[in-house]
Every structure is written in C-alpha cells, then in structure tokens.
Amino acid sequence: MIQFEAVHKRFPNGTTAVHDLTLDMPEGGVTVFVGSSGCGKTTSLRMINRMVDPTSGTIRVGGRDVLEQDAADLRRSIGYVIQQAGLFPHRTVLDNIATVPLLLGWRRRKARAAAGELLERVGLAPELGRRYPHQLSGGQQQRVGVARALAADPPVLLMDEPFGAVDPVVRTQLQDELLRLQKELSKTIVFVTHDIDEAVRLGDRIAVFRTGGHLVQCAAPQELLARPADDFVADFLGAERGLKLLSLTPLAGVPQAPAPDGGPWELVLDEARRPVHWRDRDSGAEAPARALRDGDSLLSALNESVASPAGLVVRVDADGVLTGVSSRDDIHGRAGVAHAEALAGTKGLAG
C-alpha cells in the first residue's frame, strides 16, 4: 500500500507541481496517474522513491514514511521504468537486467541466471541477452526496461509513460504483456500516462490530475466512466466513454438461449459441438460465426451482434464448445444494467 497524505511539492523556482495530494494506492493493484502534460504526474511518482522529496506532507510505502528511509536503499527496493527504457548503452541486455541485483550484492552468476529467466518472462528470446540496447527495437528495449525493474523482485513498480515512445501496435502488445505479468506477480504498480485509453486498459484505479498538481478524481475505471466527477473529467474521458465502459464489462451476465432450429440461418457445429460458421438454409452461403466467451466484453458482443447475419452472438465455454446464443436486445439490456451498477459504485472496486 502506498499512501499520500496532504503532499505538496513546490520547486525552488516557485512552481507548484503537486497540490495537497491525498491518495491511497491499493497493494497488489495498478493505480494509473493520468492527465495532460505538466500536471504533476511525474513529480508525484518520483516522490514515492525519493527522487524528489515533498515540500510538506507524508508518503508511506508499506506503512513506512519514505523520508525515514535511506533514499538509495528505497530506490533499489522499488522498480522504476521510464520512457525510452533508460538502459545503459554499453552494457549487454543481460547485464542491464542484472543491474540492481548486482548493486544489492548478489553473485554475478546468480544475477545473470535470474536475468535470463526474466528475459523469458517478458517475452524475449534468450539470445537477445548478449546484445546491446541499440541492437533492439523500441518495443524490445521497453521489455528489457520492465525486466530490469523486476530483477530484484521489488513489491512496488513505478512506471512513467513506459510505452509512450513505441508505435500503437507494439504499445498494445506491451500493455497485454504487462497485464499478463501482473496476473502472475501482483505487484503494487503506479503507472503514469497521458493516454486515457491506456489508463482504462491497465488501471484498477485511475487518478485524474489537472494542471497545478490537483487530483480531480480517483476511482475504478468503470466508476470513472459511469460517473465523472465534473466536466473536466468528462471531457478528458472523451465522447466515447460509454463505449469504453462497455469494453470493460464482461459478457458473462447476458442471458443465453439455444441456437435457433428454424429461421434462415443455421449454426453449423463440428463433432465436438464447436461453432464453425452460420449457413444460409436456402442458398447454402456461409458467414463467419465469431464465438465469444464469458470474459469477452459487451463491446465486442455488440460488434459481433451487428456483424452476425442472424443478429445473434454465439457463446462458447473455455473449450470453445457451444453454450448458447444471445440476442442484440439482451446485450443492450445488460449494457444498461452495467451502467446503472457502475453508477451505484458496486462494480469493479478492485483492491
């Protein structure tokens, strides 16, 4: 758990970067700081590992006031990932990853072995370990940056726009990787971005900042999207916030019925009762049937209900076996319920 209590940061030149920030970040969850450039996100992040010290107020990590800890020790106990990865250009990838363990006094062999495992963990081939950073793509460098931050297995990971400099496709891959890693590792992550879509994808909680270092709202993504605190947050979330909310709501609660026996379209199954395609009973024409699982989003279900010739969404279990079909009306109905639930604040308050 990371706690900010009435934290203020005023730089010597008179700039107030962070204004009276009080905020709790749950252990084992991802808290995203989001807001436009210059609103104090980086300064807030860097106060956690004492790269910047607050002018007043208290910051606690795991219950301990950071100002009572040695700054260098604290920094080594907290992973830190920045844009452009910040790798050492003259060290191999493996030695970059092993940086903190070596500082902590691990034997070189053990540090290298751990680095090799991490390389795999972040989705990179072992042979990349012998290369130098400039011999990697931007996306690969970011993965090395994440591996390096994880090397000493710190409970807390600070990430400052780590995926800001890579193209959108690689960025999505890196976000997926981070979500996968986080499922395994359950670190307490503070992630800075100015991209609201990235915040919604990654955050268990999202803290929206406004210029002058003011925290405007901190909430679970569903709650934020359903109930922005004011016009500033609503504007920031953008016109498609209803769609974003649907992208966060799983299909699971939508009623299902057996696939239709009659009607123009027949759902063709294989021997294992896995959907193959829709078939026009008259002409024999085929149309794709993209099967969705309970964990897929209402947004993908709505898209599929529009694409599906019968207006029905095919549902399958984890093995891809047909469980039933859902109508567009039922999906719309569930979307309305999800919105009401998010408004009531009963959903997604992940801890």
Ligand X SMILES: Nc1ncnc2c1ncn2[C@@H]1O[C@H](COP(=O)(O)OP(=O)(O)O)[C@@H](O)[C@H]1O
Answer yes or no whether residue 193 interacts with Mg ion by CB under 5 A: no
φ, ψ (nearest 5 deg) of residue 330: -65, -35
* Residue 80 CB, nearest approach to ligand X (Å): 14
Angstrom distances, CA of residue 83 to CA of 72, 123, 191, 310, 333 = 21, 19, 12, 46, 42
* Residue 206 CB, nearest approach to Mg ion (Å): 16
Neighbours of 123 (CB within 10 A): 17
By the 8 A CB rule, do 159 and 189 touch? yes
322 bridge partner residues: 316
Q: Cβ closer to Mg ion: 42 or 247? A: 42
Six-digit token string for 37? 């450039």
Q: Cβ closer to Mg ion: 42 or 305? A: 42
Site for Mg ion in 204-263 (CB under 5 A): none
The interface partner of residue 101, options being ligand X, Mg ion, none and the CB cut-off 5 to 8 Å by kind, is none
Q: Cβ closer to ligand X: 14 or 262? A: 14
Neighbours of 105 (CB within 10 A): 7
> Side chain identity at 214, as an amino acid letter?
H
The interface partner of residue 22, options being ligand X, Mg ion, none and the CB cut-off 5 to 8 Å by kind, is none
79 bridge partner residues: 157
Q: Cβ closer to ligand X: 38 or 253? A: 38
Task: Kindly state the DSSP code that residue 159 receives in the 8-state scheme.
Answer: E
> Side chain identity at 261, as an amino acid letter?
D
* Residue 101 CB, nearest approach to ligand X (Å): 29
* Residue 42 CB, nearest approach to Mg ion (Å): 3
Angstrom distances, CA of residue 102 to CA of 80, 114, 293 = 16, 11, 45
By the 8 A CB rule, do 324 and 315 touch? yes
Integer Cα distance of 82 and 159 in angstroms = 6
Q: Cβ closer to Mg ion: 197 or 294? A: 197
- Give the angle subtended at the CA of 300 by the CAs of 295 and 305, to the nearest 5°: 115
* Residue 41 CB, nearest approach to ligand X (Å): 4
The interface partner of residue 291, options being ligand X, Mg ion, none and the CB cut-off 5 to 8 Å by kind, is none
* Residue 298 CB, nearest approach to Mg ion (Å): 33
Give the residue nearest to Mg ion (CB): 42
Return the residue matching tokens 């800075």: 192
DSSP 3-state assignment of 51? Answer: coil
78 bridge partner residues: 156
Q: Cβ closer to ligand X: 13 or 283? A: 13
Q: Which stretch binds Mg ion (CB under 5 A): 21-29, 40-48, 51-59, 287-295?
A: 40-48
Q: Cβ closer to Mg ion: 85 or 322? A: 85
* Residue 65 CB, nearest approach to ligand X (Å): 21
The interface partner of residue 283, options being Mg ion, ligand X, none and the CB cut-off 5 to 8 Å by kind, is none
Q: Which stretch binds Mg ion (CB under 5 A): 39-47, 88-96, 171-179, 281-289?
A: 39-47
Q: Cβ closer to ligand X: 9 or 334? A: 9
- Give the angle subtended at the CA of 182 by the CAs of 222 and 68, to the nearest 5°: 95
The interface partner of residue 13, options being ligand X, Mg ion, none and the CB cut-off 5 to 8 Å by kind, is ligand X
* Residue 5 CB, nearest approach to Mg ion (Å): 22
Answer yes or no whether residue 42 interacts with Mg ion by CB under 5 A: yes
Q: How many residues bind to Mg ion according to rule CB under 5 A?
A: 1
* Residue 81 CB, nearest approach to Mg ion (Å): 13
The interface partner of residue 43, options being ligand X, Mg ion, none and the CB cut-off 5 to 8 Å by kind, is ligand X
Distance in angstroms between the alpha carbons of the first and the last residue of the chain: 10
Contact positions vs ligand X (CB under 6 A): 11, 13, 15, 17, 35, 37-43
**Nearest C-alpha neighbor of 73 from the set 166, 179, 152, 178:** 152
Q: Which residues bind Mg ion (CB under 5 A)?
A: 42
